[in-house]
Chain A
């Protein structure tokens, strides 16, 4: 097997950049996320600025990148093509949002928190991976 060193290095760098972005933005701290979600209490609007900054950069950047015929390291762009609204698109985000509101972690920040080894993180992360595995397993069986 050809070992894709360039791809591994690039992905490592992109993961680092993404993770540093989460930390700089404050989103690696579940307390900030939970306070964003606490509209009637200790509301902290920071998360809206994170989303705003990320969406503006990605909105412009995607338009520039997608004028290319193909990406630098892959044969073609792989963009989601579905536009239907099915039950899974409501049920999944509803469950995700509940868990997000309980713990203050979504998947990215859960990984950046791993090395800091808070007990709550060490309970959350394996459970998250189990939940991901379960969803893949159920989806695979239903096919």
Chain B
């Protein structure tokens, strides 16, 4: 069981939305994490100075994500609590699927789910519906069919 946290989740969600809006205001781009992260990886086709500058920005954004729990802990005095499966093979397979699938489908929960839905993008409505359905189905099978 996890506690239902409507207020904290609304506030946290609003902060995520604010980050996406400020990204559009500053850089004119969608705040999609799979796009930002995957474009740090090869192949590197574009070697223009604009692309190098964008690359540095993406690296800084990811560094901010990684640093966030430490800022949060320092500011609130509360450590970030999480429960991660210790089944390493399962987590590795999950990682491969998340990485491949989010890039293959041009976005993840942030790019399609938050930014795309906010822009009323038809593609993002389809993508969000599909990954939600696949997530529901996978958890159903894992927990209620296979019973793990």
* Chain B interface mostly: helix
Given contacts A25-B8, A30-B83, A71-B27, contact A12 B64 (CB under 8 A): yes
Place the interface of chain B in its size category.
Answer: 35 or more
Inter-chain contact B84/A113, CB cutoff 8 Å: yes
Are A131's CB and B101's CB within 8 A?
A: yes
- In the complex the two chains form, what is the Cα distance from A54 to B106 in whole Å? 20
Q: Mark B68-98, 1 if CB is under 8 A from A, else 0.
A: 1111100000001111111111111111111
| Shortest Cβ distance from residue A100 to the other chain B in the assembled complex, whole angstroms | 5
Please indicate the chain B residues that have their CB under 8 angstroms from the CB of A17 in the complex: 15, 18-19, 22, 64
**Chain B residue at minimal CB-CB distance from A17:** B19
Chain B residues in 8 Å Cβ range of A19: 64-69, 71-72
Produce 1/0 per residue, A28-56, CB < 8 A to B: 11111011011111101111011111111
Contact A53 B13 (CB under 8 A): yes
| Min CB gap A79→B, angstroms | 7
Instruction: Find A90's partner among B2, B23, B126 (CB 8 Å cutoff).
Output: B126
Contacts of A32 in B (CB 8 A): 2
Interface residues of A in 103-143 (CB under 8 A from B): 103-108, 110-116, 118-121, 123-140
- The answer to whether A97 touches B130, judged by C-beta atoms less than 8 angstroms apart, is yes
CB distance from B93 to the nearest CB of A (A): 6
Interface membership of chain B positions 113-148, coded 1 if the CB is closer than 8 angstroms to chain A and 0 otherwise: 111111101110011101111111111101110000
Residue of A nearest to B17 (CB): A57
**CB of B16 to closest CB in A, whole Å:** 4
One of A2, A59, A97, A113 near B101 (C-beta < 8 A): A97
**With a CB–CB cut-off of 8 A, which chain B residues contact A92?**
100-106, 127
For this complex, 9 residue pairs linking A to B, each with C-beta atoms less than 8 Å apart, are A7-B60, A31-B83, A54-B114, A80-B106, A90-B130, A97-B133, A105-B98, A107-B109, A119-B86
